[in-house]
Amino acid sequence: MKIKKNPVLSMLFFSGLFLLIILIMQPLNIWQFGEKIVVLFPKGMIALEQRNLLFILQALMLIIIIPVYILTFVFSWIYRADNPKGKYDPDLVDNTVAECVWWGLPLILVIIASVLTWVKTHELDPYKSIESENKEIKIQVVALQWKWLFIYPEEKIATIDFIQIPENTPVQFELTADAPMNSFWIPALGGQIYAMPAMTTFLNLIANEKGDFRGSSAHISGEGFSRMNFVTRASTKEDYDKWVSSVKQSGSELNLERYNELAKPALGDKPLFFQLTDETLFDDIVNKFMHPKP
C-alpha cells in the first residue's frame, strides 16, 4: 500500500539504494583488486604525481556532484505532487543568491582545476628530465609489429620485450616506430606517449622501488596488439650492472641485418637479448622514412 500511496518515496528509496551500492562497490573493488589497479597504486614518482592530480580534480568535482545528488532527492521529496507545503515559486529563477551559487561556485572550481592542471602539465612534461643524484639512463625504443625493441646506446646492448633499470634512477626513453603508430605505456611508472615513424618522442620516468612492472601498447595496432606487452624490471644498481654484463656476454649480436629480420611482423614469444654492434641503428631506423637528399 505504501508503494501505491508514495511512488515518489519508493523511487527515491530505490535510487538512493542503487547509488549507495555503487559507492560501496568502489572501495570494495579497490580493496580486493588494489594491486592490479596500478594507476591508483603507482611505483614511480611521475605516476604518483599524476595519480594525485587525478584525485584532486575528482575531489573538486565531488564538491559539486555530491550536493547536486543530495538536493535532487530533497527537491523531489519536497516538491512532490501530494505535498501541499511544496509551494511552487516562479520568481525563484531570478533569485540573486541562487544564481550566484549555481554559477559562481562551478566557475571558481573550474578556474582552480584549470590553473592546477596547467601548472602540473608543465611540471610533468614528458620531455622534462627528472632531477636526481643518480646518473640518468637513456633507452631508445622502437615499436615494431608486434614487439618492442629497446636499445641501450651507452651500455651497447639491446633487448626485445624486456627492460631492466636501477631503482631511483631517472630513465629517458627516446621513441620511434618502424611500424604503424603505437603508444608506449608503463602504468606503474607514468603516462603513455606515442611512437611514430620518421620522428622521435621522449618520455622521462623513474621507479621508486624494486619490482617487475607491466608495460604495454596503448594503441590498437593490428592482430598482435593484445600480446604486445613487455616487462620492466627495477632492481638495485648492482643487479642492473650484473644484468648488463650478462647481456654483453650473451653472444647474440644486433646489427642492421639482424634488425631487418626482427622488424618483420611477428608475435614476440619471449624476451631476446643482444650485443649492440651497430651504434647508429636507432638513427638509421628513424631516417629510413626520410626523403633522400638530392
Domain positions in the chain are 2-123, 137-287
Provide the grid cell at 146.
Answer: 608486434
Q: List the helix and strand counts (H, then E) for the chain.
A: 8, 12
Residue 34's pLDDT is what?
66
Range 137-287 classified under CATH 1.10.1040.10: no
Residue 62's pLDDT is what?
85
CA distance 102 to 64: 9
Residue 63's pLDDT is what?
87
Find where cell 568535482 sits.
Answer: 61
CA distance 88 to 101: 20
Reported as type and span, the H/E element at residue 112 is helix 105-123
CA dihedral 140, 141, 142, 144 (to 10 degrees): 150
User: Which residues in the chain come in under a pLDDT of 70?
Assistant: 1-6, 8, 34, 91-92, 291-294
CB 287 within 8 A of CB 179: no
CA distance 241 to 93: 70
In three-state secondary structure terms, 103 is: helix
Torsion angles phi and psi, residue 180, rounded to 5 = -55, 155
232 burial level (CB within 10 Å; 0-12, 13-18, 19+): buried
Residue 293's pLDDT is what?
60
